Copies of this chain bind each other. A is one copy, B any other.
């Protein structure tokens, strides 16, 4: 059999503001005469591996560079997405399809579940003796891949969250009471923690931050709110959708629809139930009259015009790095790690790492980023996150 030199690339999991940067970074690297000389056809599978199973592709050599650059700047997954964990039988059908199309390279852009899907495909290919180079390209607004200092998508989503909380804090200054903002992040508190970047002045909100990493206690919460009301005369709260009690069960999941995807994740976003329940708690137990709750929802990952420049650039380079690693590293399966270099100036390096480092198990917000009081972040977190998010619009108060 002639060496299969065509490639398939696809996107999977939740979209982000910059996942298309990674797609375009990879496609342009594959189209470049220097890097991608060995690459033949470039198939974009529509809706992730579901598109391979359905033989649904876009010819990514035919799309003009101008259009590709416009797509890179567009939020959400241009090829469509899916949340599918491939079975052994799915893999068998995928390799049949790859054989038909002479595909030797497979790139899958996504979070830990997508990395796990890529790992399964790579391992099944080895078992079946199908010659495949398979690379995962990191993406997740949750920032919870063990293989990266931070993940493409996080900086832009964090920028949205910090901006939203900053505006909301000004709104709360004007009308008072308690405002609760529910932030995405199923298991990791990075995105909720980023709300702290909203602060410019000592009395700016968020005044309280609740993370999935710290067991949530209703009594403690009510006490915290009362103390903040006493101190500031008002209170802005950032809460992760993933907060959980001592039993480890996410409170939002108990209140939600119970819907579960094929990776076993329970639906938490796209409902206001957690925010409403917490608002009710503040009204009845903390005796505050004006209480409002907003759930930021999907806007956090797909709002056009709000993106971090650093995040966008890194997403692009992560895509390009995967193609280079696939062609030049001699490794047949891997993920791209984004590593922060030592030194005062912010700089990153991209490196091929074992695909398993990104798959399945996620990482949490490290202990040194969580304040001792359990409802705030540390300066170490601010120093970590600021370069990823960039400066926010300055806001003045009288």
Contacts and interface: CB of A to CB of B under 8 A. Distances in A.
B298 A297 contact: no
A299 interface: yes
A168 B296 contact: no
Contacts of A175: 14-15, 80-83
Interface in A159-182: 163-164, 166-168, 170-171, 173-175, 179
A201 interface: no
A175 B261 CA distance: 12
Contacts of A303: 163-164, 167
B299 A70 contact: no
B171 A71 contact: no
Contact of A171 (B82, B271, B302): B302
B294 A174 contact: no
A139 interface: no
A67 B174 CA distance: 18
Interface residues of A, number: 64
Contacts of A83: 175
B173 A395 contact: no
Interface string A316-359: 00000000000000000000000000000000000000000000
Q: Which of A71, A73, A174, A292 has the most CB of B within 10 A?
A: A174
A10 to B, nearest CB: 11
Given A15-B174, A80-B173, A273-B272, A299 B294 contact: yes
A293 interface: yes
Given A298-B168, A306-B305, A78 B397 contact: yes
A195 interface: no
Contact of A304 (B76, B167, B273, B297): B167
Contacts of A395: 70, 73-75, 304
A112 interface: no
B304 A294 contact: no
A30 to B, nearest CB: 16
Given A76-B171, A80-B173, A292 B298 contact: yes
A394 B269 contact: no
Interface string A223-267: 000000000000000000000000000000000010000000000
Given A15-B170, A44-B398, A272-B276, 7 more contacts: A15-B171, A76-B167, A164-B303, A270-B292, A271-B292, A295-B295, A305-B306
20 contacts: A11-B174, A15-B175, A70-B394, A70-B395, A71-B398, A75-B167, A75-B170, A75-B395, A76-B173, A77-B174, A78-B397, A80-B173, A170-B304, A171-B302, A179-B270, A179-B298, A270-B292, A271-B293, A294-B298, A295-B297
**Top 6 nearest A-B pairs by Cβ distance?**
A272-B272, A270-B292, A294-B297, A76-B170, A70-B396, A167-B302
